[in-house]
Amino acid sequence: MSRALARRKRAEARFRLMGRAAIAFALLALVWVIGSVLVMGAGALTHHRVEVSAMELVDPALVSASDLGAQQRRSDFQDGTQSVLATARLDQYLKGRDVVLSAEQVATVERWREQGRISRGFNTTLFTRPDSRDAERAGLKTALFGSLIMLALAAALALPLGIATAVYLDSFAPRRGWGGRLTRALEVNINNLAAVPSIVFGLLGLAVFINLVGLARSIALVGGLVLALRMFPTIVIASRAALESVPPRITDGALCLGASPVQVVFGTKLPMAGPGILTGSILGLAQALGETAPLLLIGMIAFMTEAPAGLTDPATSLPVQVFLWSDGAETAWSERTAAAILVLLGLLLLINGAATALRARLDHRR
């Protein structure tokens, strides 16, 4: 008896240890991933600028030529100098990265440094400028706008459709006979849809929206539609689970008071399932925000120097931007890739935080 008890206790201790080990491993992996991205991306948050006088002839390898050009066209510059962006090359050199400059360039930089003409500041370009061929001038504006427009469109389409589908399947779809068979077939298919690789949705978007309907490639509208398709099954499944978790006793109680099925759904079931539906929907939204493959298939891989202003403008999204930048050979591009990932993660965190807060408020109100 006591031996059996000791054995059971040992088994429990073992199990608990394994659980802790698993959590520790997961935490370690998370810290490692986020940590390396943070270390890489932090560099891109600051950038160097150089004070250049208007009449000075400057090596375009050191300061951004297009910035310089704009400066020199200007007739009324103040006290003869202007602050211009350092090139990614110079910036990386100043940050102590492994960049080889010619002896002449090094001498110039040392002179600037002595004269106090080099300053380091927050890299606003990264957030306010569209993409560029030059790393120092590349920003996330295109991708941020694109992601937000597409996400808004996808949510506006998939949320009402998905929740309505879930409500219908849960409360109104026929359960008997041929209608019931059709309902079950539908349910199975929607469940499978959620497991379909996302690239297939891109293929579908390409075949239907671009080839069949004739919409332009790589525009925000098509991206939003494809993301809506991607979100739809997730939202349906999450909403159904939330609706099913409403105790039947509650709905029976409402029915027994003479509530019609529609009143039961909208007055009792939906409010109670609300937090669950919300969480599921946010999950779908977050998933769509990180989606890359289907967007690549509908041509969102183009280099875009202008932020989309509307649904029919060509767009790109944050993850696609990450993908594009990760191709860059210079360390400045790796830095910016990591920074873009950080922005993406920050957005996800923001969305999830909003969902948690909203859920807590809804739960509290009940």
Partner 1 sequence: MTNHSLEREPKFRCRSVSVHYGSFQALHDVDIDIMDRGVTALIGPSGCGKSTLLRVFNRMNDTIANARVTGSVTMDGQDILGGDIDPVSLRARVGMVFQTPVPFPKSIYDNVAYGPRLHGLARTRAELDAVVENSLRRAGLWDEVSDRLSMPGTGLSGGQQQRLVLARAIAVDPEVILMDEPASSLDPIATARLEALIEALKARYCIIIVTHSMAQAARISDRTAFLHQGRLIEYDATERLFTNPGDVRTQDYITGRFG
List interacting residues with partner 1 (CB under 8 A). 175-176, 180, 247, 249-250, 252-260, 263, 267-268, 272, 366
By CB neighbour count within 10 A (0-12 exposed, 13-18 middle, 19+ buried), where does 176 fall?
exposed
By CB neighbour count within 10 A (0-12 exposed, 13-18 middle, 19+ buried), where does 114 fall?
exposed
Of 268, 196, 257, the closest CA to residue 231 belongs to 196
d(CA 138, CA 325): 9
Nearer to partner 1, 73 or 176 (CB): 176
- Torsion sign over Cα 355, 346, 150, 141: positive
DSSP E strand boundaries for the chain? 46-53, 81-85, 118-122
Nearer to partner 1, 175 or 361 (CB): 175
CB of 263 to partner 1, least distance (A): 6
CB of 351 to partner 1, least distance (A): 27
CB of 250 to partner 1, least distance (A): 6
CB of 366 to partner 1, least distance (A): 5
Nearer to partner 1, 66 or 268 (CB): 268
Decide if 351 contacts 284 (C-beta within 8 A).
no
CB of 243 to partner 1, least distance (A): 15
Nearer to partner 1, 279 or 287 (CB): 279
CB of 355 to partner 1, least distance (A): 21
Nearer to partner 1, 268 or 305 (CB): 268
Nearer to partner 1, 214 or 248 (CB): 248
Report the residue count for the chain: 366
By CB neighbour count within 10 A (0-12 exposed, 13-18 middle, 19+ buried), where does 66 fall?
middle
Residue 44 DSSP one-character state: G
Backbone phi, psi, residue 318, to 5°: -55, -55
Helix (H) / strand (E) containing 59 = none
CB of 269 to partner 1, least distance (A): 11
Nearer to partner 1, 253 or 310 (CB): 253
Nearer to partner 1, 221 or 254 (CB): 254
CB of 176 to partner 1, least distance (A): 6
Decide if 121 contacts 49 (C-beta within 8 A).
yes
Gyration radius of the chain's alpha carbons:
28
Residues 6+ apart with CB under 8 A from 264: 171, 251, 254, 255
Backbone phi, psi, residue 83, to 5°: -90, 120
Backbone phi, psi, residue 228, to 5°: -60, -45
